[in-house]
Amino acid sequence: MSQSAKTSLLIKTSLIAVAVLLLVPGLAFAQTPDPAEAVALERQGKWPEAVQAWKQVIARNPTDAGAFASMGVDLSREQKYAEAASAYRKALKLDPQLPGIALNLGLAEFKQGHYAAAATALHAALAADPSSAQARTLLGMSYYGARKFDLAANYLEPAAKADPNNAELHQMLAQSCLWSKKLSCAQDEFRLLLEKNPESAPTRVLMGEALDGLGKPTEAIAEFEAAAKISPNEPNVHFGLGYLHWKSQDYDKARQEFERELALDPNHAQALAYLGDVHWKNNQPDAARPFLERAIKADKSQRLAYLDLGEIELQEKNYKDAEAALTQAVKLDPTQPDAHYQLGRLYQARGKTTEAEKELQKVRQLHKKADESVAGKMPPGAHPGRPLNQN
């Protein structure tokens, strides 16, 4: 499973675990003088029949906002959320002040995975009732589902503080803080979660990512080692641990972890790329090449594999192949100076002084830009939503 797919699964699982049906009955608002049949059917739990009864009420009075709202509630109880959302919208169009219906609309959209539409409705619900904990929590969950993690953290934090025993809510907040680079918040939340469940390998991994982002490599490695001990077959744990050793330039330990990841998943593209890079850094181009080529075969977005292959081809004076690989590395991420530098060296070797100077000028500009962007900021951590992916 790719890291983005893993993140999507984390999001989906968290949302399912926390989401509950929070319906505000609409029948009390019906203005038609004879909704008795629909009300009686609702009391018997006969939701499909109640929906049909409300439709008859609406047929007699198409401007009855409360009838539309009540029908929306019954449709939600049948889990027909698209139809429910339509009914709620019609109710709010007729009477925007109907209490609780914007909240119901937000929940119906949320249940369909329409997180942006849910957020719009829930903002209206909060404006109507700023004290509504339900609307605030659902709004945070909607932003989480929409991958707007910075906004999600803002709304989930008070909800989590108000419910300290809700592990799923705290997990969602911790992930939102991590992926919006609010790393101190993430660290605090993951620590709280680990106090309750110290044997959770996924939480150990995410805690490690937060610590890595805070510039605490020793602590980050310890968390990944703990995760590997708890669940040695957990996907990506050995790759993450290997990557942290790689960043610390402990290439022998990095190699061991990448090999362990590949024993579990022989086509793990990142592990292949970084294992190839370790061999290349150890001046073993013949050992590096097959891993780099396999990495590209598994995933053509592996920039590091193209970069290293380009350097190997350049060293062996295979200039055409070197240029193709290095050009692809630049195309995948033109903001990284290393591929521009190698292209500059290649053009120099081929006597293309103008092209060489252009590439080396880009290197100088990118180094200057990197220095400016880093000033006053925390050390770089894992990419939001793609933990420890540093191609």
The upper half-sphere exposure of residue 259, i.e. CA atoms within 13 Å in the direction of its Cβ, equals 8
> Residue 368's pLDDT is what?
55
Residue type, 125: A
Residue burial 105-126, b: 16+ Cβ < 10 Å; e: rest: bbbbbbbeebbebbbbbbebbb
CA-based nearest residue to 44, from 74, 7, 15: 74
Count CB atoms within 10 A of the CB of residue 45. 9
CB-CB contact of 111 with 19 (8 Å): yes
> Residue 373's pLDDT is what?
24
CA-based nearest residue to 190, from 179, 206, 176, 201: 206
The secondary element (H helix, E strand) that includes residue 331 is helix 319-332
Q: Give the residue ranges of DSSP H helices in 95-216.
A: 101-111, 115-128, 133-145, 149-162, 167-179, 183-196, 201-213
Handedness of CA 354, 311, 382, 246 (dihedral sign): negative
Rounded to a whole number of angstroms, the distance between the first and last alpha carbons of the chain is: 17
DSSP string for 222-277: HHHHHHHHH-TT-TTHHHHHHHHHHHTT-HHHHHHHHHHHHHH-TT-HHHHHHHHH
- CA dihedral angle for residue 97, residue 126, residue 106, residue 91, rounded to 10 degrees: 0
Alpha carbon distance 329, 335 (integer Å): 10
* CA 324 to each of CA 301, 311, 371: distance values in angstroms, whole numbers, following the listed order: 14, 11, 29
In eight-state DSSP terms, residue 380 is P
List the beta bridge partners of residue 383: 386
Q: What is the pLDDT along the chain (391 residues), one digit of tens a residue?
A: 444 444 444 444 454 444 444 555 554 444 444 688 888 998 999 999 999 999 999 999 999 999 999 999 999 999 999 999 999 999 999 999 999 999 999 999 999 999 999 999 999 999 999 999 999 999 999 999 999 999 999 999 999 999 999 999 999 999 999 999 999 999 999 999 999 999 999 999 999 999 998 999 999 999 999 999 999 999 999 999 999 999 999 999 999 999 999 999 999 999 999 999 999 999 999 999 999 999 999 999 999 999 999 999 999 999 999 999 999 999 999 999 999 999 999 999 999 999 999 999 999 988 754 433 221 222 233 333 333 333 4
Q: Using a cut of 0.85, tell me whether the model's pTM lies above it.
A: no
> Residue 366's pLDDT is what?
86
Q: Look-up: residue for tokens 């993140």?
A: 7
CB-CB contact of 76 with 108 (8 Å): yes
CB-CB contact of 68 with 89 (8 Å): no
Tokens of 39: 């009300």
> Residue 24's pLDDT is what?
55
> Residue 336's pLDDT is what?
92
SS3 383: strand
CB-CB contact of 88 with 104 (8 Å): yes
CB-CB contact of 255 with 248 (8 Å): no
Rg for the chain, CA atoms, rounded: 28
